Amino acid sequence: MSTADEQSDSQAEDCTAEQGALAGYVAQFPNPSALKKAASQTREAGFKEFDCYVPFPVHGIDEAIGIKMTRLPYIVLVCAVIGATTAIALQFFTNAFDYKYIISGKPFFSIPANIPITFELSVLFSAFGALLGMLALNKLPQFYNRLFLLDPFLKATSSGFFLAIEAKDPKFHETDTKTFLNSLQPSDVVTCREPNENVKIPKILLPIAACILILGLVPLVLIAKMRVTPQTTPRVELVHDMDYQPKLKTQRFSRMFADGRGMRPPIPGTLARGDLQHDTSFYEGLLPDQEDQVDRNHLLPNAKNADGTSVSLDKLPWVSEIPIPVDEKLMARGQERFNIYCAVCHGLSGKGDGIITQRAMKLQAANPNVGTWLLPIPLYSEPVRKQKVGQLFNTITHGVRKMPSYGAQVPVKDRWAIVLYLRALQESGSGMINDIPADIREKLNAEPKE
Ligand code: HEC
């Protein structure tokens, strides 16, 4: 079909067979430059509600139409800020306000620790903002566009260059606008009408959609009901193998063994690989040549002798030297571990003024009936200073009297590092002014007193 034929066809039909209300005029142009020129003239003529439709990006067409920069970046920015604020507020509320929980003396609220979630939520909110904002600005989703009814318009995806002025433009006039478009030298001007009012969604679709919607809610209602109704029958197991796997779980019952325990104690006289702790000085702080005389129950807190008297821990054959090479690195490690595990009660200096102790004393003063809190003695006091390193090691491993054990949290080598640092704390905590070299002492004295 030649171009002339097409033109006469479309003009004769004038957009659609049904004569709905006038929606606008669509002018077709032979090439991008003609369209661009027409667009600027339309803009200069004062039209606002018009747009160009082209099969490929045309340079300069945005300026010709007068399209302003998209507002999408601002939407995304606002979403990112909301995301970051939400994340910080959430973390503040949960960690520092609603459920304060001391974890190794770390601060409740700290920006570095909050960065990952803040970053993630900013990105998530921006992504939603970008997608939904783009859809909203483009007025999408739109399932139907009356321009698609125009015969020549479909060429906008292959070879057509169109300019459409909408009837809702304040400057629009039924005849003047058409004359104006014709003055722009288009190859064709087509009248576009609103689709016939009688075209409606078939009535039957509405009840069907309602049924589908209601059916879709049924599973949710069933699930909600199941959650609150006690059942007397066993639940339905869709994948039985997944619910009952041929393995034993920790602390669970098992039918396989006569005593019903899923977890098996080690067979007497055997050891798992790597569990042999033959070096008693390293693993227990006991002298290797006397360790076989020690009843291991006596190492535990509040141990009693056979006659009911308390075990005297000081008398056990403890090692008096740290059984691993001692260097600055071990000392630094010991300081770090002490500050993490011990300082909460004993205080950073070992004085016994850690934050837990302080709070316990405060609570006790406010309400004497809450129970008693035992003040840990200063770690640099005489009785603790006199203890051999093996006994200090044992105190960390098993705890002592009221102090809980830290053997499960602190690995053996770290325990020795802490013992080393304890010795340093004792040295500094019990030092006398004469222990300081004379020249530094003078400097200290010169320091202004408060
Ligand atoms: C939960 C609080 C708490 C923590 C944490 C804690 N201690 Fe203690 N510690 C105590 C208390 C309380 C005592 C006094 C126990 C008593 O006399 O009944 C004590 C006593 C001691 C003693 C003296 C033992 C003796 O024979 O008199 C030493 C040494 C000691 N702690 C070392 C440590 C080390 C090292 C750590 C870190 C691994 C640590 N503590 C962590 C509460 C704590």
Question: Model confidence over 129-180: pLDDT tens digits?
Answer: 999 999 999 888 877 778 887 888 888 889 899 999 999 899 999 999 999 9
- Ligand 1 atom nearest the C-alpha of 374 is 12
Question: Is any atom of ligand 1 closer than 6 Å to the C-beta of 363?
Answer: no
> What secondary structure does DSSP assign to 251-308, as a single string?
T-B-TTSTT-BSSPPPPTT---TT-----HHHHT-B-TTTGGGS-GGGGSTT-B-TTS
What is the mean pLDDT of the segment spanning 355-372?
85
Of residues 267 and 218, more confidence is placed in 218
Question: Atom 1 (ligand 1): residue with closest C-alpha?
Answer: 345
CA 14 distance to own-chain centroid: 59
Burial 9-19 (b: 16+ CB within 10 A, else e): ebeeeebbeee
Ligand 1 center from residue 71 Cα (angstroms): 62
Share of the chain above pLDDT 70, in %: 94
- Ligand 1 atom nearest the C-alpha of 410 is 38
Residue 250's pLDDT band, with cuts at 50, 70 and 90, is confident
> What secondary structure does DSSP assign to 117-156, as a single string?
HHHHHHHHHHHHHHHHHHHHHTT------GGGGSTGGGGG
pTM over 0.85: no
pLDDT tens digits, one per residue of 375-386 = 888 999 999 999
Which amino acid, one-letter code, is at 216? G
Average pLDDT, the chain: 88
Region of 448 (left: φ > 0; alpha: ψ -120 to 50; beta: rest) is beta
Q: Determine whether 303 is exposed, middle or buried from the number of CB atoms within 10 Å of its CB (0-12, 13-18, 19+).
A: middle
pLDDT tens digits, one per residue of 71-97 = 999 999 999 999 999 999 999 999 999
Ligand 1 center from residue 288 Cα (angstroms): 26
What is the mean pLDDT of the segment spanning 416-426?
95
- Asked if residue 11 has pLDDT above 60, the reply is no
Contact call for residues 403 and 316 (beta carbons, < 8 A):
no
Pocket test for ligand 1, best of 403, 409, 414 (most atoms within 8 A of CB): 403
pLDDT tens digits, one per residue of 226-242 = 889 988 888 888 888 88
Residue 237, helix vs strand vs coil: coil
pLDDT at position 4: 42
- Asked if residue 2 has pLDDT above 50, the reply is no
pLDDT at position 9: 42
Residue 180, helix vs strand vs coil: helix
Rounded Cα–Cα distance for residues 104 and 342 (Å) = 9
CA 304 distance to own-chain centroid: 50
- Asked if residue 445 has pLDDT above 70, the reply is no
Question: Is any atom of ligand 1 closer than 6 Å to the C-beta of 152?
Answer: no
- Asked if residue 1 has pLDDT above 80, the reply is no
Question: Atom 25 (ligand 1): residue with closest C-alpha?
Answer: 384
Residue identified by tokens 């006991």 is: 286
Question: Atom 12 (ligand 1): residue with closest C-alpha?
Answer: 376
